[in-house]
């Protein structure tokens, strides 16, 4: 049983995500908001824009305690350490940062970037996430990566010496990859001493060079049966090595999970700062809003300079929309989603009959065996009972998680679970929002 960092009250979690939009080269499989500027960029200008957008978010959300900070991209290890330090100092001026808060930066393992690790550490970063992607030079070339396996190993060594914690990413289910080839490569990865690994299957994203090659039959990825075999092997090997999956693609020694990513999956709030960043903010009046910013870096900076922020979207989320998002995030986790927490927050939960149906189809699993009986749940809060008439709330909702094929059809699971919900009366002294 994985000992995840204690599940804090997600309502109180607040993280900051900083998106750095530039990369040295665009990888042919990538659909992230990343841009190449061969002439460089005006880093002081971007720094000022980050600080200004942070000010605007502070004015929106007021006082919060920062639980985690994440520099993602793009390639944030192209930032000067002084830029990272200035952003971290500014965040600490705006909000109290929890002692020991996880502060992660993504990095590519090129030697120039690895040389900056010490500077990031001095700036306050305590965790690095390295985009290794493959431990075979020919495969790195096919993925369009600029680094070699030797550089990746060197970067990992530097990370081990420099940071409290490090993790690296690999992509598998690559064209032509056999089970045996992945077994050998994953064994090598597991021997490299990381307490956390992100292992993603190669997916063909629309509007990428890989999508074009795929459409022309020039890039063939493993079929779904082979992909499932590779996935099962990945689960078995990581679990045997003491790094079981805690999310569909993420594996960690218990206690070494990414706290920032857990914040997303447990449906906490976070500021999304920078070009093309998404955020979920909880305002002082309790409303949760979705934010998105201008994707083009220079246009984003210009908008921040004139308006104080680069938002292109600020949408108030209804309780139904929030519940859907909470399900979509939480079902990814091995710890599952606590439907009691959902009921407390929204006053409703997925119908017991639908949960039982999906359980019968082996798409979800009910985890708390003491409360798995759908008939019991149904008897307590059955369909047709209004919130006012529903049984006064006592914990009785199950914790559920996606299993088997269910892990690959999360959108469909959420659609089914949110089609049929049942009211649950909440205790008088909760602050949960009742659906109207």
Binding site for ligand SF4 (CB under 6 A): 23, 26-27, 30, 32, 34, 73-75, 108, 131
Q: Please, which residue, 74 or 274, has the CB nearer to ligand SF4?
A: 74
Gap between the Cα atoms of 328 and 385, Å rounded: 26
Q: Report residue 80 as tokens.
A: 């000067």
Residues in CB range of 412: below 8 A, 6 or more apart? none
Strand order in the sheet with 97-107: 245-247, 250-252, 196-201, 165-172, 127-133, 97-107, 66-73, 14-20, 269-273, 278-282, 288-293, 311-316
Which residue lies nearer to ligand SF4 by CB, 26 or 299? 26
Minimum CB–partner distance for residue 75 and ligand SF4 (Å)? 5
Query: How many CB atoms lie under 10 A from the CB of residue 1?
Result: 7
Nearer Cβ to ligand SF4 (108/359): 108
For strands 250-252 and 245-247, give the pairing: antiparallel
**Residue closer to ligand SF4 (CB basis): 27 or 158:** 27
d(CA 321, CA 44): 38
Which phi and psi angles does 421 have, rounded to 5°? Answer: -120, 165
Q: CB 23 → ligand SF4: shortest distance, Å?
A: 3
Q: Which lies closer to ligand SF4 via its Cβ, residue 32 or residue 41?
A: 32
Minimum CB distance to ligand SF4, residue 164 (Å): 24
How far apart CA 273 and CA 412 sit, in angstroms, is 30
> Looking up tokens 């081990």, which residue turns up?
160
Q: What are the structure tokens assigned to 432, written together?
A: 């949960």
- 358, 373, 363: which is closest to 402 by C-alpha? 363
CB distance 282 to 341 below 8 Å: no
Q: Shortest gap between Cβ of 20 and ligand SF4 (angstroms)?
A: 9
Is beta strand 348-350 parallel, antiparallel or unpaired with respect to 421-423? antiparallel
Question: Which CB atom, from 24 or from 82, has the smaller least distance to ligand SF4?
Answer: 24
Nearest 5°: the CA angle 341, 347, 348 is 85
- Minimum distance from CB of 15 to ligand SF4 (Å)? 20
Q: In the complex with ligand SF4, which residue's Cβ is closer, 139 or 340? A: 139
Of the pair 274, 374, the CB lying nearest ligand SF4 is at 274
């Amino acid at each position: 049983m994985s000992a995840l960092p204690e599940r804090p009250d997600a309502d109180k979690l607040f993280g900051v995500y900083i998106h750095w939009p530039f990369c040295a080269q665009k990888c042919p499989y990538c659909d992230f908001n990343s841009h190449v500027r061969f002439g460089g960029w005006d880093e002081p200008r971007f720094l000022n824009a980050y600080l200004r957008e942070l000010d605007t978010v502070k004015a929106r959300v007021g006082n919060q305690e920062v639980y985690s900070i994440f520099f993602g991209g793009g390639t944030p290890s192209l930032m000067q350490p002084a830029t990272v330090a200035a952003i971290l100092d500014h965040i600490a001026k705006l909000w109290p940062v929890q002692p020991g808060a996880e502060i992660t930066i993504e990095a590519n393992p090129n030697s120039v970037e690895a040389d900056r690790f010490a500077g990031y550490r001095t700036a306050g970063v305590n965790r690095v996430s390295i985009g290794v992607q493959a431990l075979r030079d020919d495969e790195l070339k096919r993925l369009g990566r600029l680094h070699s396996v030797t550089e990746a190993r060197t970067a990992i060594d530097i990370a081990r010496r420099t940071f409290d914690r490090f993790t690296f990413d690999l992509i598998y289910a690559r064209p032509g990859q056999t089970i045996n080839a992945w077994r050998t490569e994953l064994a090598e990865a597991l021997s490299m001493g990381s307490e956390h690994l992100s292992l993603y299957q190669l997916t063909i994203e629309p509007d990428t060079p890989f999508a074009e090659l795929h459409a022309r039959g020039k890039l063939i990825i493993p079929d779904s049966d082979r992909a499932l075999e590779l996935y099962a092997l990945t689960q078995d090997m990581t679990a045997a090595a003491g790094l079981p999956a805690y999310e569909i693609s993420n594996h960690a020694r218990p206690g070494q999970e990414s706290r920032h990513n857990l914040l997303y999956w447990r449906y906490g709030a976070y500021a999304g700062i920078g070009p093309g960043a998404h955020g979920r903010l909880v305002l002082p009046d309790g409303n949760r809003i979705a934010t998105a910013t201008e994707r083009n870096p220079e246009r984003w900076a210009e908008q921040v300079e004139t308006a104080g922020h680069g938002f292109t979207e600020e949408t108030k989320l209804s309780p139904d929309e929030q519940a859907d998002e909470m399900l979509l995030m939480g079902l990814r986790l091995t710890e599952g989603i606590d439907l009691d927490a959902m009921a407390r927050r929204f006053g409703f939960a997925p119908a017991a009959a639908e949960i039982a149906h999906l359980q019968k189809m082996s798409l979800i699993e009910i985890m708390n065996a003491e409360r798995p009986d759908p008939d019991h749940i149904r008897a307590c809060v059955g369909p047709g009972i209004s919130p006012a008439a529903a049984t006064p709330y006592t914990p009785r909702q199950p914790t559920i998680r996606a299993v088997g094929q269910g892990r690959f059809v999360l959108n469909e699971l959420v659609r089914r679970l949110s089609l049929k919900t049942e009211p649950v009366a909440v205790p008088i002294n909760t602050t949960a929002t009742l659906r109207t």
